[in-house]
Amino acid sequence: MNFKGHLVGGLVAGVSIIGIAQYSDFLYLNTHAVDFFLQNPLNLEGDIAKAAGLFALTLFMSLFPDLDQTSIPQKWFFRVVFLLLVILFLINQLILFVIVTFFAIAPLLHKHRGWTHSWLTPFFISIFFAVLLEYFNSQASVIKSFSLDRIILLFQDYWIYFLGCILGHYTHLMLDLRK
Between these two residues, 119 and 1, which has the higher pLDDT value?
119
pLDDT tier at 65, thresholds 50, 70, 90: confident
pLDDT score recorded for residue 98: 87
Domain holding 142, by residue range, is 3-177
Question: Which residues are CB-contacts of 166 (< 8 A; sequence separation ≥ 6)?
Answer: 61, 122, 123, 126
Instruction: Please provide the DSSP assignment of 105-157 as one string.
Output: HGGGGS-TTSGGG-TTHHHHHHHHHHHHHHHHHHHH-SS----HHHHHHHHHH
CB-based burial label for 98 (10 Å; 0-12, 13-18, 19+): middle
pTM for the predicted model, two decimal places: 0.81
| Nearest C-alpha neighbor of 49 from the set 111, 110, 1, 93 | 93
Number of domains, the chain: 1
pLDDT score recorded for residue 179: 62
